[in-house]
DNA sequence: GAACTTAACTCTGATAATCAGAGTGAAGCA
DNA sequence: TGCTTCACTCTGATTATCAGAGTTAAGTTC
């Protein structure tokens, strides 16, 4: 599938892979720590670590001999996922589904001690851009399917706004059966 | 699990849920479009849509009667995931695993036409913060497990730097067998 | 020196999810 | 009369995940 988001999803594998990258990026490195932290079973854990290694997100490294023991370290590519982690934490914090009194994790600027957040900026000037002014369009790497998605979405938007605000009140009826 | 990232992961469910949110946030709304776009089977697709609805990320709305037909729209909570999508696309673009000549999707500022990117800013002043100056610490919502993760990670970092650069050259040996 | 612990796994057998694809029902179109 | 669209449900085979037991090699405790 021609989509950068799908590429990242594919590299992570699934929930377990993502949870493992969270722990690895927080600084855990050892099998037993990862198992305790995530609660994954041995079969799933060793499979996922292998997969993350095959996808170039972590490196398996011996940290002791007699007996040989190994730890797992994020590669530079794996470290790119810090951005993803930050986004997930930020979204989860605003949702606060578990109704906590505060966030479990805080990202802070080591120089000022103040909290940091993700924001959209102009790619060149680095000036802030408000989310309302951001649009998505096909890039030059887009294939026919991606172009179809965007055109279909644009068509639906047009049909929706043509019909006017009258049709904006759909009812969210419970499913039959 | 007390972790905002895990909350988001739980709400999305899995790869299919995430892929569906991508399409819904791009503007697709109908079952058949989603099926064609994601390639999910009917069983998986209807199950995941139900799950996303149950988790409050999408709303199922009737858009026609005789016969009744329904479409799926992201809720405000679902729209929060745009940040996640943006992060995934940005990471996937820099990886460029498929060796494309350009990105499949572009996020642009509608006023200037220029590309936008995610950046870390001071939560209050909105000034840019470089990734190197960002640290993670326990927030007041952290439980014992989260505190253990951070302490364990700090202990490993300390042990690693105490041993000095000599131990920094681990070997990435292939697995036996 | 016999037993217990730690770490990083592999293996097993039962349960649960996913798959491709066929089928359904209500309507419009030819 | 039959042909298509849309939003699904259902089926039977394959695949993944689960809890938990077992393995290997070493150090630590009684």
CB distance A118–B119 less than 8 Å? yes
Which residue from B34, B59, B54 is spatially nearest to B44, judged by alpha carbons?
Answer: B34
Tell whether the model's pLDDT for residue B174 goes beyond 60. no
d(CA A66, nearest CA chain B) in Å: 15
Q: Report the residue from A116, A123, A171 with minimal CB separation from B123.
A: A116
pLDDT (0 to 100) of residue A37: 94
pLDDT (0 to 100) of residue A23: 96
For residue A85 the two structure tokens come to 């982690």
Of residues A159 and A72, more confidence is placed in A72
CB distance B102–A153 less than 8 Å? no
pLDDT in tens, B118-152: 999 999 999 999 989 999 999 999 999 999 999 99
d(CA A163, CA A169): 12
CB distance A140–B6 less than 8 Å? no
Tell whether the model's pLDDT for residue A155 goes beyond 80. yes
pLDDT in tens, B92-118: 999 999 999 999 999 999 999 999 999
Q: Positive or negative, the Cα torsion across A10, A14, A15, A20?
A: negative
The mean per-residue pLDDT over the stretch A14-23 comes to 96
d(CA A25, CA A12): 13
pLDDT (0 to 100) of residue B171: 46
pLDDT (0 to 100) of residue B168: 40
Partners of A130 on chain B (C-beta within 8 Å) are none
pLDDT in tens, A36-67: 999 999 999 999 999 999 999 999 999 998 88
List the nucleotides on chain D closer than 7 A to a protein CB.
Answer: 5-12, 17-22, 24-27
d(CA B170, CA A106): 31
pLDDT (0 to 100) of residue A176: 47
Partners of B80 on chain A (C-beta within 8 Å) are 91, 94-95
Domain range list for chain A? 4-76
- Token pair 């023991």 is found at A69
* In chain B, residues 9-68 whose CB comes closer than 8 Å to chain A: 9, 11, 14-15, 18-19, 22-23, 26-30, 33, 37, 39, 59-63
Q: How far apart are the first and last CA of chain B?
A: 35
Tell whether the model's pLDDT for residue B20 goes beyond 70. yes
High-pLDDT (> 70) share of chain A, %: 90
- Distance in angstroms, CA of B29 to C1' of C28? 22
Q: What is the CATH number of domain B4-75?
A: 1.10.10.10
Give whole-number Cα distances, B116 to A117, A142, A156, B100, B110, in Å.
Answer: 16, 18, 25, 20, 10
d(CA B136, CA A100): 18
- The residue of B91, B93, B135, B154 whose CB has the most chain A CBs within 10 angstroms, and thus the best one to mutate to test that interface, is B91
Q: Are B136 and B150 in contact (CB under 8 A)?
A: yes
Tell me what the pLDDT averaged over chain A comes to. Answer: 90
Provide the pLDDT confidence category of residue A159 given band limits of 50, 70 and 90: confident
* In chain B, residues 105-134 whose CB comes closer than 8 Å to chain A: 105-112, 114-126, 128-129, 131, 133-134
Tell whether the model's pLDDT for residue A167 goes beyond 50. no
d(CA B107, CA B45): 27
pLDDT in tens, A113-134: 999 999 999 999 999 999 899 9
Contact partners, residue A33, CB within 8 Å, separation at least 6 = A23, B152
Tell me what the pLDDT averaged over chain B comes to. Answer: 90
d(CA A17, CA A21): 6
Tell whether the model's pLDDT for residue A162 goes beyond 70. no
Q: Are B16 and B23 in contact (CB under 8 A)?
A: no
The answer to whether B2 contacts chain A (CB < 8 Å) is yes
pLDDT (0 to 100) of residue B163: 60
| Topology, domain A4-76 | Arc Repressor Mutant, subunit A (1.10.10)
Beta bridge partner(s), residue A108? A115, B135
The 3-state secondary structure of chain B, one letter per residue: CCCHHHHHHHHHCCHHHHHHHHHHHHCCCEHHHHHHHHCCCHHHHHHHHHHHHHCCCEEEEEEECCCCEEEEEECHHHHCCHHHHHHHHHHHHHHCCCCCCCCCEEEEECCCCCEEEEEEEECCCCCECCHHHEEEEECCCCCHHHHHHHHHHHHHHHHHHHCCHHHHCCCCCCCCC
DSSP code of A104?
S
Provide the pLDDT confidence category of residue B162 given band limits of 50, 70 and 90: low
d(CA A84, nearest CA chain B) in Å: 6
Q: Are B126 and A119 in contact (CB under 8 A)?
A: yes
The mean per-residue pLDDT over the stretch B76-89 comes to 96
CA B82 to chain centre: 9
pLDDT (0 to 100) of residue A158: 86
Q: Are A136 and A153 in contact (CB under 8 A)?
A: no
Q: Report the residue from B59, B105, B175 with minimal CB separation from A172.
A: B59
High-pLDDT (> 90) share of chain B, %: 84
Give whole-number Cα distances, B18 to A81, B39, B59, B87, in Å.
Answer: 16, 13, 16, 13
pLDDT in tens, B27-63: 999 999 999 999 999 999 999 999 999 999 999 999 9
């Amino acid at each position: 599938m021609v989509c950068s988001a799908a590429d990242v999803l594919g590299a992570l594998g699934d929930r377990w892979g993502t949870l493992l990258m969270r722990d690895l990026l927080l600084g855990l490195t050892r099998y037993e720590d990862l198992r305790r932290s995530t609660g994954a079973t041995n079969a799933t854990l060793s499979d996922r670590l292998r997969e993350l290694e095959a996808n170039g997100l972590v490196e398996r490294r011996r940290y002791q001999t007699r007996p040989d023991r190994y730890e797992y370290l994020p590669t530079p590519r794996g470290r790119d996922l810090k951005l993803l982690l930050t986004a997930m934490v930020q979204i989860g914090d605003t949702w606060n589904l578990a109704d906590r009194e505060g966030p479990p994790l805080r990202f802070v600027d080591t120089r000022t001690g103040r909290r940091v957040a993700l924001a959209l900026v102009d790619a060149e000037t680095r000036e802030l851009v408000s989310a309302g002014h951001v649009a998505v369009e096909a890039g030059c790497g887009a294939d026919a399917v991606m172009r179809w998605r965007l055109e279909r979405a644009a068509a639906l938007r047009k049909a929706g706004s043509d019909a006017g605000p009258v049709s904006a009140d759909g009812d969210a009826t419970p499913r039959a059966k």
